[in-house]
Structure 1
Amino acid sequence: GALLILGLSQAEVKAQQEPLYTQYMFNTVSVNPAYAGTRNAMNVLLLSRLQWAGLDGAPRTYNLTMHTPLNNYKMGLGFSIVKDTYGPVDNTYFNFNYAYRVNVSENMILSMGIKGGIYNYYVGLNDVFVQNGSDASFSGNYDKKLQPNAGMGLYLYSNKWYAGFSIPKLIQTDLSGDQMTTSNVSDLRRHYFVMAGYVFDLSSDLKFKPSFINKVVEGAPPSTDITGQFLYKNA
């Protein structure tokens, strides 16, 4: 079927946060591991997000995601590779997702998911042009730093609606080392996501699906994405 997307996104400050996606409805598994395998078919997705295109050091995010159902649709398995760059920061994330589903009622399913992986962080301060060459804050250069990651999520859904809660990064990461002096920039904080959506039947062929996702992270204002999709002859 065909679909038309309308979106509204609240402004957000990015200071060493998880990569930002506005079209989350197509990439829910990136923020909630419980979503893995819920589409009842293998899904492969390649996304790119270019902000302030044409400017040196502008934020760029690339994401390859795959997830599929297993064991007669009772389980889901997936993985994702994300490359997130902005300014001197160049981060790469590798994650695996696993989900197990139980029938709460005849038309309602609860999926419980976990994720684990490795985060590779790099900050190249020597690549930054500084007018005051004696500024000690830019005198060093971070080497790559590997950190483990673990996350969890819940996803309750039927053929008409869904609701979810997730913490995709449970392990808070301190990237400060000896050279970074601003902890708000060098800490990767724990993120909390809440999401929900509902499908309204406008006619036998046309449906409307409003949805939202809210993100809360310490040290930054809450972020909310509100999206509406028109689905035409969508099974």
Structure 2
Amino acid sequence: MGTGLKKHILCLWMLVCSCLLHTAGMSAQNDVQFTQYWAVPAYYNPGATGEIDFVRIRGGARLQWVGIENAPRSFLAAADMPVKIGKKRIGVGVNMSQESLGLFSNMLVNLQGSYKMKFLKGTLSVGVQGGYYNTTFKGSEVYIPEGDDYHQPVDEAIPTQDVTGSSFDLSAGIWYSHKYFTLGVSGLHLLQPTVRLESEGTESAEVSQYETVLKRSLYFTASGNIGLKNTLFELQPSMMVKTDFDNFGAEVTMRAMYNKFLSFGIGYRYKDAVCAMVAAEFKNFFIGYSYDYPTSAISKASSGSHEVVIGYKVKLDFSGKNKNKHRSIRIM
């Protein structure tokens, strides 16, 4: 990769990030928000499944806005791998996310598949995923204070018992992977399912009036890999832009990796937080940690957010030859 091309890629990335951050606003948290979004690409885009010749397993946990009671807590487990059928290559994956936000608890389980084809000097992948979405509201824990002019002791719009509901979810994405960069566009929750919340074991009209909507969302992601001449360092810029068509959000990250082992970087989420992160990869293991410090007024109540992502990958052999031949136990 020539020095001139490296400079053009880096300058273009900085220009695009600058434009997006000046035109974007904050988004609602429809999906689990990960500062290390670059470490779990298939969660945001099913087209990213089977991107590398490994079985890739990742898990993550995030404690958001530490110090605030009932602040969001998120968990993610994901796995994906490529599969070769004849001369065709597809990707398959599965992921499960769970998040608690106040009295709400949301869970989403997805099965993913992608079809891959050579395009220019990279690989173009088109992916889809079908999922099961479940949400629960703990109405039994609702507390409405009495004795002032701002609250009513009874609000018919708020359930006073625990209610839950579920729905089918559908998403799709396009992913382009090149030796030096990746680009992805995905639409999550395309059907924008409306979930009717009911108390367990009842179907009364009084309870089934409660509803919640999983809003349709659009994601754009990009990342680069720029080797620095005569060093063991690589610069790895990345960005994510998201919208649910009412609100917008954007975040940018710049990481430096040393000797394909240790990486560290900084990030910025528009009108939300500045981030610091460190990660290490060793013998197919991955571990990453990030810390977010809020730049909004929420910093008066919270010391920040903590996030950990861990993973493991197993190499796959598509050569058709078994390099690990063993005798049958029957002839030993």
TM-score range, shorter-chain basis?
A: 0.7 to 0.9
Matched, 1:150 2:170: yes
CA contact (8 A) 1:126 1:138 kept: no
1:184-206 CA distance string (max 9 Å, x none): xx322100001112222212421
1:141 positional shift? 3.2
Match of 1:48 in 2: 61
- Select the residue among 16, 22, 37 that pairs with 2:35: 22
Aligned length: 221
Amino acid at match of 1:123: F
Match for 1:231 among 254, 257, 279?
257
Which residue of 76, 86, 89 corresponds with 1:74? 89
Contact 2:27–2:242, Cα closer than 8 Å, also in 1: no
Partner of 1:12: 26
SS at match of 1:126: helix
Within 2, Cα distance between the matches of 1:37 and 1:141? 43
Q: Residues 122 and 177 of structure 2 are in contact (CA less than 8 Å); yes or no, is this contact kept in structure 1?
A: yes
C-alpha deviations, 1:94-143, integer Å up to 9, x for none?
101111110113x3110111100100111122212221332333343352
| 1:159 aligned onto 2:179 | yes
Aligned to 2:234: 207
Summarize the alignment of residues 31-46 of structure 1 with structure 2, pairs less than 5 Å apart: 31-46=44-59
Q: Which residue of 1 aligns with 2:330?
A: none
Aligned to 2:325: none
**Deviation of the 1:57 alpha carbon:** 1.4
Q: Structure 1 198/13 Cα, relative in aligned 2: closer, same or farther at 3 Å?
A: closer
Q: Which is greater in Rg? A: 2
Give the TM-score of the pair, scaled to structure 1: 0.85
Quote the offset at 1:11 in angstroms.
7.3
Task: Compute the RMSD of aligned alpha carbons.
Answer: 2.4
SS of the aligned residue for 1:25 comes to helix
Identity among equivalent pairs (%): 20
Question: How far off its partner does 1:234 sit?
Answer: 2.4
| Equivalent AA in structure 1 for residue 80 of structure 2 | H
Instruction: Give the AA of the match of 1:192.
Output: L
Match of 1:121 in 2: 135
Moved over 6 A (4+): none
Ranges in structure 2 where 5+ consecutive residues have no aligned partner: 1-20, 147-152, 198-207, 262-332
- The yes-or-no answer on 1:219 pairing with 2:246 is yes
Alpha-carbon distance in structure 2 between the residues aligned to 1:95 and 1:217: 20
Alpha-carbon distance in structure 1 between the residues aligned to 2:181 and 2:104 = 38
SS in 2 for 1:52: strand
Tell me by how many angstroms 1:174 deviates. 2.1
CA contact (8 A) 2:167 2:195 kept: no
Q: Is the 8 A contact 1:37 1:75 kept in 2?
A: yes
TM-score using structure 2 length: 0.62
Q: What code does the residue aligned with 1:225 have? A: E
Matched, 1:110 2:124: yes
Deviation at 1:151, TM superposition (A): 0.7
